[in-house]
Structure 1
Amino acid sequence: MDNVTSSTVTTAAPIFPPLEKLVARVVNATKSYGAGAGRVNALHGASLGIPAGQFTAIMGPSGSGKSTLMHIMAGLDSVTSGQVWLGDTEITRLQDAELTVLRRRRVGFVFQSFNLVPTLDVAANIRLPFELDGRRPTRTQSEWIDHLVESLGLTDRLTHRPHELSGGQQQRVAIARALATRPDLIFADEPTGNLDSRTGREVLTLLAEASRTYGQSIAMVTHDPIAASFADRIVFLADGAVVDERDRATPEEISGYMLGMEQRA
């Protein structure tokens, strides 16, 4: 394959697609917590590139480092060693204020817990990234938001507050908010974890369509083989390092591979 391969764990020079085709990457990332006998390595030389315009799933057993890797790529946490890039911007040593602006303008988030502001209605929640950045959407951006609202079936929910919505509707609002600024990359952390299976599939379909239709780059952390089967590419972590990747696969194929990983551990 021409993407990241398992050789990235052991080689000094990870194999990536051409850099102009990557929306984010980490190189030899290590993340340690504690010191001495209590020291824990959440990441151990992890290298990964997220291709632009693709839906990438990041999987691994509990404790494999997948959430830590996502937080580092999103600028929510820092590496102990290694390098982190968002597009052509190295964010490894950026200060908190710089990271805050970068996340606000170039990154979107979809979380398991929705993270909507309970006192704001749907319209205000969707436009929140603009408010936090101290700006109003342009005419073109407003038209894009209107399109998102309509395509996500939220037109008749704009004046509702989160507690008046179902879980699936709340996650649709979170997706609209994440897409509103047309970010370079959306990070989705177990986005269907609080949803029933039918609603979860609907949400995953929306994320996949955002990638296929709008060219949105998405990196999703999940433990669920069904969720991962919606992605274009599946990256597997073990013991804090990238150990393999697969193109689109069925839930059964993914489950079988994950079982094999656990048996080899």
Structure 2
Amino acid sequence: MHITTSDLGLVARVSNLSKSYGHGRGQVDALRDVSIGIRRGQFTAIMGPSGSGKSTLMHIMAGLDSATSGQVWLGDTDITGLGDKELTLLRRRRVGFVFQSFNLVPTLDIAGNIALPFELDGRKPSTTERAWIDQLVDTLGLTERLRHRPHELSGGQQQRVAIARALAARPDLVFADEPTGNLDSRTGREVLSLLAAAATEYGQSIAMVTHDPIAASHADRILVLADGQVVADRGRSTAEEISALMLSMERAA
């Protein structure tokens, strides 16, 4: 019997995943035989020290980088051997991204930035999708800002726009890469609460790469990488518990 990613209650998974850069004595193993799944409708934090492989794992799961060996699934699609064109379409339609640097288009107003996934896909939002976007805009407090350009907004407001854009097309999975890195602590907490609410209230699957224990404490699940391998997989934890775990890992290294 063939067990699919969906049967396992996962939105994405990797099996025996390895990634190496360079050759011979200069070879660097960024990931070493990693098998892990991201659960559907859950907010997952991926943590680890610099060079642990957490960003590499995210890039491969999102179809932005390729594996040296192993397999990668998004939903029940094996994306391991897909070409650039198929990967571009897959990312456009099934993956959302929130970056540390916001990555908004400066020449577009806020409404245009939020609608960008649909523009890139060459279509207009359906009636249902339009209602969802309106709900997002209202929830994120952007109703009065739709005709503004990104430079007219604060960092926190720009990140809210990035979240709205990432959620607009209801992707299978949203990847958030250090989403609070450029925000002050209060605004960062607000953004993290919004991401957590997207998982809890809307069933959105989110995988967030972070080095910040406070950010990770908002997640339902915490995966910790070290030296290219998963060394811890735990449920919701306090910032203090996560800090203690990271400290113990550093001492053991």
Q: TM-score range by the shorter chain?
A: over 0.9
Contact 1:23 1:51 in 2 (8 A): yes
- Shift in Å, 1:36: 1.2
Q: Please say if 1:31 is aligned against 2:25.
A: no
Query: Which residue matches 1:108?
Result: 96
Query: Which residue matches 1:257?
Result: 245
Q: Please say if 1:159 is aligned against 2:147.
A: yes
- Which whole-Å CA distance do the structure 2 matches of 1:81 and 1:17 have between them? 19
Secondary structure at 1:50 match in 2: strand
Query: Which residue matches 1:60?
Result: 48
What amino acid is aligned across from residue 209 of structure 1 in structure 2? Answer: A
Query: Which residue matches 1:175?
Result: 163
- Which whole-Å CA distance do the structure 2 matches of 1:239 and 1:249 have between them? 22
Structure 1-normalised TM-score?
0.93
Q: After superposition, give the CA deviation of every residue in 1:5-24 in whole Å (9 maximum; x if it has no partner).
A: xxxxxxxxxxx997441000
Listed as ranges, the gaps of 5+ residues in structure 2 are none
What amino acid is aligned across from residue 78 of structure 1 in structure 2? Answer: S
**Aligned match of 1:221 in 177, 202, 209?**
209
Secondary structure at 1:146 match in 2: helix
- Which whole-Å CA distance do the structure 1 matches of 2:99 and 2:83 have between them? 24
Contact 2:48 2:226 in 1 (8 A): yes
Contact 2:6 2:75 in 1 (8 A): no
Query: Which residue matches 1:87?
Result: 75
What amino acid is aligned across from residue 132 of structure 1 in structure 2? Answer: L
Contact 1:17 1:51 in 2 (8 A): no
Query: Which residue matches 1:7?
Result: none
Structure 2-normalised TM-score?
0.97
Query: Which residue matches 2:128?
Result: 140
Q: After superposition, give the CA deviation of every residue in 1:185-206 in whole Å (9 maximum; x if it has no partner).
A: 0000000000000000000000
Going from structure 1 to structure 2, the CA distance change for 1:180 and 1:18 (only over 3 Å counts) comes to closer
- Which whole-Å CA distance do the structure 1 matches of 2:147 and 2:225 have between them? 42
Contact 1:31 1:81 in 2 (8 A): yes
Please list every run of at least 4 consecutive aligned residues from structure 1 whose deviation after the TM superposition is greater than 3 angstroms.
Answer: 16-20
Contact 1:104 1:133 in 2 (8 A): yes
Secondary structure at 1:235 match in 2: strand
Listed as ranges, the gaps of 5+ residues in structure 1 are 1-15
Report percent identity of matched pairs. 76
- Shift in Å, 1:244: 1.3
- Which whole-Å CA distance do the structure 2 matches of 1:109 and 1:137 have between them? 19
Contact 1:225 1:252 in 2 (8 A): yes
Secondary structure at 2:131 match in 1: helix
Going from structure 1 to structure 2, the CA distance change for 1:167 and 1:181 (only over 3 Å counts) comes to same
Q: Please say if 1:191 is aligned against 2:179.
A: yes
CA RMSD of aligned residues (A): 1.1
Q: Please say if 1:212 is aligned against 2:195.
A: no
- Which whole-Å CA distance do the structure 2 matches of 1:17 and 1:102 have between them? 16
Query: Which residue matches 1:40?
Result: 28
Q: After superposition, give the CA deviation of every residue in 1:14-59 in whole Å (9 maximum; x if it has no partner).
A: xx99744100001111111111111111111111100000000000
What amino acid is aligned across from residue 104 of structure 2 in structure 1? Answer: L
